[in-house]
Amino acid sequence: MYSYFKHRRDARYRLVISSEAPFPPELEAYDWVFLEERPPAGVHIEVMNDIAQNGFGFFERGIRLQDIPAA
């Protein structure tokens, strides 16, 4: 299972860690609010790769089309 958190001051930002892992020591736990747990099938492969490499994954929700740089 994987634990999902949202950032306390900017809810667009999400943090994902393995449910068995401790909270990343380089982050302040107070800044993150627990949202839910998901099974591996509910986690994007890119986020799972980040977790395997770094111990956690980040992503941003609510990106608008105009926020994406043109090619």
Please give the average per-residue pLDDT across 40-62, as a whole number.
91
Domain around 44: 2-67
Q: What is the number of domains present in the chain?
A: 1
Please give the average per-residue pLDDT across 7-28, as a whole number.
93
User: Mean pLDDT across the chain, nearest whole number?
Assistant: 91
Q: Is the pLDDT of residue 65 over 90?
A: no
Strands across the sheet containing 2-7: 32-38, 2-7, 13-18, 57-60
Q: Is the pLDDT of residue 18 over 90?
A: yes
Which pLDDT belongs to residue 69? Answer: 79
Pairing status of strand 32-38 against strand 2-7: antiparallel
